[in-house]
Chains A and B, each alone.
Chain A
Amino acid sequence: MNVSFRWVRDVAPGIGLGPDRAMERLALRGAPVEEVVDLAAGLKDIVIGRVLEAGPHPNADRLTLCRVAGPDGEVPVVCGAPVVRVGAYYPFAPVGAVLPGGFRIGRRKIRGSYSEGMLCSERELELGEDHAGIMLLEGQYEVGAPFAASVGLDDVRMDVEVTPNRGDLLSHVGIARELHPAGQDGIALPPFPGGRGEPAASFARGAAEAASAGCRIHIEDPELCSRYLGAVIRGVTVGPSPAWLADRLRAAGARPINNVVDATNYVMLELGQPLHAFDLEKLADATIVVGRARPGESLVTLDDETRAVTPDMLMIRDAVQPVAIAGVMGGRDSEVSEGSSDILLECALFEPRKVRATRRALAMSTDASYRFERGVDPVTMEAAVLRAVSLILATAGGTLDGEIIDAHPRPWVPAVVSLRPSRVSHVLGVDFAPEAIAELLVPLGYAVEVAGADRLDVTVPGHRTYDTLREVDLIEEVARTHGYDAFPEVMSAARSGTVPDHPLFQLEDRLRDLLAANGISEAQTPALGPKRHGDVALLNPMSQDEGHLRRDRLPGLLTHVERNMSRGVRDVRLFEIGTAFAPSDDGPPIESSRVAVALTGGRTPPHWSSGAEPFDIHDIAGVLGLIAREACPDAAVVPAGVRAGGRAGGRASAPAGGQAQRLFAPGRCYELVSGGGEVVGWGGQVRPEMMDLPPWAGAVVGAEVVLPAVPPRKPDVTARDLPDQPAVQRDLAFLVPVGTAAGEVLDAARMAAGRLLETADVFDVYEGEDLPPGTRSVALRLRFRARGRTLTDREVDKTCRRVVRTVKEKTGVEPRR
């Protein structure tokens, strides 16, 4: 809501607040000011000038040569306007002045004549679009006085943030009521310049139907329109509004159109009541029918759009067709324009939900619909229509014909809400006596009556009809008016809650710490992605690139690896914890929390002591194991494809199915398989063609793990005693042909080594020219230990011979001699 502070002061004369205090008070009353514009900021150099002489420029047809009285006496001024009125006052920019656009006025010679200053147009002062002529100021002014203050433009415009429940604040009176210490009682609407005061009007009242001045109003649907006031004004002269009116509208951020339309906008901005003026001659049979649209109808609205309307929408119709969408926008063909003479002024009350549904269905929003949706004060309707009539009579002339027509099928009955002072204390934690409550509520317009030992009956004023319906609404009013700052801050003893801390948060926290400690940085990427990344589509996406919910997190994370590399960052280590979405046959998609990791570049930071090795597939196997230990301790990292009929410990022939595995190069892909045989994670080297990478890019490896929805408790570790005997270590090297997996050799060795084996590791893999072609040397380090006794060399040697034998039997691999 754009508020002109000058306007607020005009409707609440005793307000006694400057703009700064007003802003603070509004903030503390629930309507903070988001932006303040000093409307006169660009006009500080502009003064009042008076034209003493004006005549044609000797050397140019289209220029006028004037003598202007300004702050420094009389100066010659060359003016581009063809008509300059002698004796009149204009905004004048003397030499040295800076216009709102930043242009500095200098002493210039124009076609042989000196010009020492400039008479300004509205556009040059950024006050309007009109640049046809310079801005003539009607009335008497002091020459040389500041222009802005002289014409009432020294104003600030505040953009007040009004919450959806406070439709009553969408007007200057509403804001003033909130600011004035006396509230509603502090409001006094000023008379209009040149006005004749409020017209002595009477009302032709009826229920669903009323008529006067040859005009009939009929409400077909009282549920959607409880009241419709119509005033017939004949003989208006439609033209530009006087400057004071145009300035006032501009100060409140509205655009002046013509004196009739401006009058309706003025009253809407002042009182919050949307009004509409019809050209009466365009209404068939001078009839207004408030009723539903007929099937197949359409209407061209004021904005020149053809709107197809449907029978669930409420229309204002004449005897033949719709002429306005009720509470939203008028029709183009019945609008008031230059030639209009007789008008019908509408002041109606429409049902908020219907206005909202209609304007949403039509994908539009107007100042009127915005107010109707939030609720318009039923009590000020008569005042609003009278104010608009007197303003039109003052600015456009004409006469009010007959009585004001008042079709009022559903009278408004003020709500009475019961309030228990005990409940106020129960919710707010501070005791309020009935008198104290009354003192807080009455200035807001509420009437408070004691109705029992612990009961106040509170009558709600019209402007709060829509948001004060229940006891708790009044409790809020008490708190708000008392001032939130006035409440003490005392923490009382709290009982523990019944909700256990969700274990998935705990798991996610551990993973975050673990991965960060391993040198990987946390990323956050949106769950929204393009179609190729998701199976669950959005109905109303912002763009196609964000039209689907991701089925996996790793592909999204990889795009961030790409982005880093496109910026020349070579070492990228990112992880992310986020939700993935899988479609379900009926109902919402199935969500799972995922952790995704992507690594590329050097495994260690560059250091003078050694060259950096790049990340490879074995790193991602390690990361999978790291995550698995926290997330799913019973799961194992296995080369992909093994479950699908591959040999135990063997190399994968191709990645097993699954969307994610298509990311990875064949034979360079792992799966994380749970104890139940379910694939709960995958990782590998990303196929280069899946990414858009610079030529210098090395391997990118990535992994993703599905976190359990409710992670089980991690089993407690049962500690083992430290060994009491020394271990015996033996190294055995094998010549493993290409195509035979080291894992098979290790598995066979483990099996053969039996109970005495403590650990078995691969400690060296070597390929070299001194080995038979097609083989590599895989060296195992076996560590043996027996409980309670020292192992003998004989025992260990015997076991090692068995290992060599078994490996050969099981895998055909020979020891390296």
Chain B
Amino acid sequence: MLPAARGFVIEDLKRLEADALREVRTARDPRELEEVRVRYLGRRDGMVSRCLRRLGGLSAEERPAAGAEANRVKGAVDKALQERGAALSLDGASDQDGPDLTLPARSGWQGTIHPVSRVIDDIWSIFRSLGFTRARGPEVDTEWYNFVALNTPLDHPAADEQDTLYLSPGLLLRSHTSPVQIRTMEQHSPPIRIVAPGMVYRRDTYDATHTPAFAQIEGLVVDEGVTFVDFKATLAEFARRFWGPGTRVRFRPSFFPFTEPSAEVDVKRIIVREDGREEETDWIEIMGAGMVDPAVLDNVGYDSERYTGWAFGMGPARVALLRHGVRDLRLFYENDMRFLGQFR
């Protein structure tokens, strides 16, 4: 091979390098830059690549120098391409050719937790911080657990308050979560400090405020030295943590066969109106509660002279209704995706 051939290859490479670097510098966008890359470094028809293929025609002495030069040029062009590419892609942000950042984002489906479950979670997390644990019991239970052990004789009008669904004589769908009180105390000794969320059933037809199956959450504390003062203090503390620090709490006398004294607990919340002004709500009834009746403690074999306690029961669906301004309870159980999807 003639020496001129060698000179020609190296010269050629240098010229190509200069051309390539110039074109890289002047490329205005990634598309043009890609054309430059293909023109010079393209595997088949790129000009640098073609030069490299011509190296095979050189003599063994000439080949290393030319090869080294070819590789140097290739590396230099490649580096320039990358630098320019990075610069262009940043410039592109302000360029019309960049992605349209106003287009809707891409994301997966978002699932939601049912608003009634959320209320239970929120109630539970407050009681957890007050040292409670969770207990559970069966949804089908006996008259003993649902009524008799809870100091509710079946021939007393108090048993009417909850119209009960029966499976067979003596066997029923629990009408409240209170049977869990009895079952828990039967299996554990004091101190007891539990909440028991669960489904309960009543012989109600569906309407805006009733469903035959609904969630309830029960609470029970039994220990030595537990008093009405502790009872009020703990539930008032719960209410303020749940509904906000400004919440007022009112305890009204009431009647439940398994507590005495018994109370209804009402709250008056501070709500912020749309115009920013704060406003107090009416009194809202949120739970039934009271000191555990000694007869209940006797029924599970606790010493009712030694131990005292308090209990409460509340309906999370009602709380959810108030929390979200839902007018009809049935919406919670229709499970319309458009309704559930709101509670993100």
Q: Which residues of A contact B (CB under 8 A)?
A: 27-30, 32, 163-166, 353, 356-357, 373-374, 426-430, 470, 472-473, 475-476, 479-480, 484-485, 487-492, 494-502, 504-505, 509, 512-513, 515-528, 536-542, 546, 549, 560, 563-564, 567, 569, 571-575, 578-579, 581, 588-589, 591, 604-605, 607-609
For the complex with contacts A484-B263, A495-B191, 20 further pairs of A-B residues with Cβ separation under 8 Å are A353-B155, A373-B157, A428-B229, A475-B261, A492-B227, A497-B191, A497-B192, A498-B189, A499-B133, A502-B133, A502-B134, A513-B113, A519-B108, A521-B112, A528-B213, A546-B212, A564-B337, A567-B336, A574-B335, A588-B140
Please determine whether B230 and A491 come into contact, CB atoms closer than 8 angstroms. yes
Query: In the complex, which of the residues B111, B117, B167, B333 contacts A538, with contact meaning CB atoms closer than 8 Å?
Result: B167
Please determine whether B261 and A479 come into contact, CB atoms closer than 8 angstroms. yes
Please determine whether B233 and A491 come into contact, CB atoms closer than 8 angstroms. yes
Check if B30 is an interface residue, CB within 8 A of chain A: no
Check if B244 is an interface residue, CB within 8 A of chain A: no
Please determine whether A164 and B156 come into contact, CB atoms closer than 8 angstroms. yes
**In the complex with contacts A475-B261, A515-B111, A427-B166 CB distance below 8 A:** no
State the Cβ distance, B39 to closest chain A Cβ, in Å. 31
Please determine whether A473 and B260 come into contact, CB atoms closer than 8 angstroms. yes
Please determine whether B261 and A497 come into contact, CB atoms closer than 8 angstroms. no
User: Who on chain B is nearest to A501 by CB?
Assistant: B133
Residues of the A chain whose Cβ atoms lie less than 8 Å from the Cβ of B117: 512, 522, 524
Task: Name 5 interchain pairs, CB-CB below 8 A, sorted by A.
Answer: A164-B156, A429-B228, A430-B227, A499-B135, A521-B114
Please determine whether A588 and B111 come into contact, CB atoms closer than 8 angstroms. no
A519 to B344: give the CA distance in the assembly, Å: 11
Please determine whether A516 and B261 come into contact, CB atoms closer than 8 angstroms. no
Query: In the complex, which of the residues B113, B157, B201, B237 contacts A528, with contact meaning CB atoms closer than 8 Å?
Result: B201
Check if B132 is an interface residue, CB within 8 A of chain A: yes
Chain B CB within 10 Å — which of A428, A497, A538, A540 has the most? A497
Residues of the A chain whose Cβ atoms lie less than 8 Å from the Cβ of B308: 426-427
A27 to B266: give the CA distance in the assembly, Å: 11
Please determine whether A500 and B133 come into contact, CB atoms closer than 8 angstroms. yes
**In the complex with contacts A165-B158, A356-B157, A569-B337 CB distance below 8 A:** yes
State the Cβ distance, B223 to closest chain A Cβ, in Å. 6
A523 to B113: give the CA distance in the assembly, Å: 8
A36 to B251: give the CA distance in the assembly, Å: 22
A426 to B227: give the CA distance in the assembly, Å: 7
Check if B341 is an interface residue, CB within 8 A of chain A: yes
State the Cβ distance, A774 to closest chain B Cβ, in Å. 37
How many A-B residue pairs have C-beta atoms within 8 angstroms? Tell me: 263
A18 to B291: give the CA distance in the assembly, Å: 33
Query: In the complex, which of the residues B107, B165, B260, B340 contacts A605, with contact meaning CB atoms closer than 8 Å?
Result: B107
Check if B94 is an interface residue, CB within 8 A of chain A: no
**In the complex with contacts A356-B155, A357-B155, A604-B109, A527-B234 CB distance below 8 A:** no
Chain A CB within 10 Å — which of B109, B212, B262 has the most? B109
Please determine whether A30 and B253 come into contact, CB atoms closer than 8 angstroms. yes
Residues of the B chain whose Cβ atoms lie less than 8 Å from the Cβ of A527: 139, 199, 201, 213
Please determine whether B333 and A517 come into contact, CB atoms closer than 8 angstroms. no
Residues of the B chain whose Cβ atoms lie less than 8 Å from the Cβ of A588: 138, 140-142, 167, 171
Q: Which 6 A-B pairs have the closest CB atoms?
A: A429-B227, A519-B109, A30-B253, A429-B229, A497-B193, A163-B255
User: Who on chain B is nearest to A567 by CB?
Assistant: B336
A-facing residues in B259-286 (Cβ within 8 Å): 260-264
A-facing residues in B218-253 (Cβ within 8 Å): 221, 223, 225, 227-230, 232-234, 236-237, 250-253
State the Cβ distance, A505 to closest chain B Cβ, in Å. 5
Interface size for chain B: under 10, 10 to 19, 20 to 34, or 35 or more residues? Answer: 35 or more
Please determine whether A573 and B111 come into contact, CB atoms closer than 8 angstroms. yes
User: Who on chain B is nearest to A540 by CB?
Assistant: B166
Check if B104 is an interface residue, CB within 8 A of chain A: yes
Please determine whether B335 and A608 come into contact, CB atoms closer than 8 angstroms. no
A500 to B157: give the CA distance in the assembly, Å: 36
Please determine whether B136 and A505 come into contact, CB atoms closer than 8 angstroms. yes
Chain A CB within 10 Å — which of B156, B165, B250, B253 has the most? B253
State the Cβ distance, B36 to closest chain A Cβ, in Å. 29
Query: In the complex, which of the residues A353, A484, A522 contacts B251, with contact meaning CB atoms closer than 8 Å?
Result: A484
Please determine whether B252 and A499 come into contact, CB atoms closer than 8 angstroms. no
User: Who on chain B is nearest to A518 by CB?
Assistant: B111
State the Cβ distance, A589 to closest chain B Cβ, in Å. 6
Check if B293 is an interface residue, CB within 8 A of chain A: yes
Residues of the B chain whose Cβ atoms lie less than 8 Å from the Cβ of A607: 104, 106
Check if B96 is an interface residue, CB within 8 A of chain A: no
Please determine whether A472 and B294 come into contact, CB atoms closer than 8 angstroms. yes
Please determine whether A479 and B106 come into contact, CB atoms closer than 8 angstroms. no
**In the complex with contacts A27-B252, A537-B167, A496-B131 CB distance below 8 A:** yes
Query: In the complex, which of the residues B138, B204, B232 contacts A489, with contact meaning CB atoms closer than 8 Å?
Result: B232
A765 to B157: give the CA distance in the assembly, Å: 69
Residues of the A chain whose Cβ atoms lie less than 8 Å from the Cβ of B104: 607-608
Check if B168 is an interface residue, CB within 8 A of chain A: yes
Residues of the A chain whose Cβ atoms lie less than 8 Å from the Cβ of B253: 28-30, 476, 479-480, 484
A479 to B161: give the CA distance in the assembly, Å: 24
A490 to B141: give the CA distance in the assembly, Å: 37
Please determine whether B254 and A163 come into contact, CB atoms closer than 8 angstroms. yes
Check if B7 is an interface residue, CB within 8 A of chain A: no
Please determine whether B109 and A494 come into contact, CB atoms closer than 8 angstroms. no
Query: In the complex, which of the residues B113, B140, B204 contacts A581, with contact meaning CB atoms closer than 8 Å?
Result: B140
Query: In the complex, which of the residues A428, A499, A605 contacts B109, with contact meaning CB atoms closer than 8 Å?
Result: A605
A488 to B264: give the CA distance in the assembly, Å: 17
A427 to B156: give the CA distance in the assembly, Å: 25
A-facing residues in B15-37 (Cβ within 8 Å): none
Residues of the B chain whose Cβ atoms lie less than 8 Å from the Cβ of A564: 335-337
**In the complex with contacts A426-B308, A484-B253, A516-B113, A525-B193 CB distance below 8 A:** no
Please determine whether B157 and A521 come into contact, CB atoms closer than 8 angstroms. no
A27 to B232: give the CA distance in the assembly, Å: 17
Chain B CB within 10 Å — which of A487, A499, A541 has the most? A499
Please determine whether A476 and B134 come into contact, CB atoms closer than 8 angstroms. no
**In the complex with contacts A502-B136, A504-B136, A523-B111 CB distance below 8 A:** no
State the Cβ distance, B164 to closest chain A Cβ, in Å. 8
Please determine whether A522 and B114 come into contact, CB atoms closer than 8 angstroms. yes
Please determine whether B191 and A496 come into contact, CB atoms closer than 8 angstroms. yes
Please determine whether B106 and A539 come into contact, CB atoms closer than 8 angstroms. no
**In the complex with contacts A491-B234, A499-B184, A30-B114 CB distance below 8 A:** no
Residues of the A chain whose Cβ atoms lie less than 8 Å from the Cβ of B114: 521-524
Check if B103 is an interface residue, CB within 8 A of chain A: yes
A-facing residues in B134-183 (Cβ within 8 Å): 134-136, 138-142, 155-158, 160-161, 165-169, 171, 173
A-facing residues in B86-136 (Cβ within 8 Å): 103-104, 106-114, 116-117, 121, 130-136
State the Cβ distance, A319 to closest chain B Cβ, in Å. 32
State the Cβ distance, B5 to closest chain A Cβ, in Å. 39
**In the complex with contacts A426-B308, A484-B253, A497-B191, A521-B111 CB distance below 8 A:** yes
Check if B188 is an interface residue, CB within 8 A of chain A: yes
Check if B211 is an interface residue, CB within 8 A of chain A: yes
Residues of the A chain whose Cβ atoms lie less than 8 Å from the Cβ of B61: none
Please determine whether B234 and A164 come into contact, CB atoms closer than 8 angstroms. no
Please determine whether B261 and A541 come into contact, CB atoms closer than 8 angstroms. no
Please determine whether A489 and B229 come into contact, CB atoms closer than 8 angstroms. yes
Please determine whether B252 and A32 come into contact, CB atoms closer than 8 angstroms. yes
Please determine whether B139 and A487 come into contact, CB atoms closer than 8 angstroms. no
Please determine whether B165 and A538 come into contact, CB atoms closer than 8 angstroms. yes
Residues of the A chain whose Cβ atoms lie less than 8 Å from the Cβ of B191: 494-498
Please determine whether B252 and A30 come into contact, CB atoms closer than 8 angstroms. yes
Check if B6 is an interface residue, CB within 8 A of chain A: no
User: Who on chain A is nearest to B141 by CB?
Assistant: A588
A27 to B265: give the CA distance in the assembly, Å: 11
Residues of the A chain whose Cβ atoms lie less than 8 Å from the Cβ of B158: 164-165
Chain A CB within 10 Å — which of B190, B232, B335 has the most? B335
Please determine whether B199 and A494 come into contact, CB atoms closer than 8 angstroms. no
A655 to B197: give the CA distance in the assembly, Å: 36
State the Cβ distance, B301 to closest chain A Cβ, in Å. 15
Please determine whether A525 and B335 come into contact, CB atoms closer than 8 angstroms. yes
A357 to B263: give the CA distance in the assembly, Å: 29
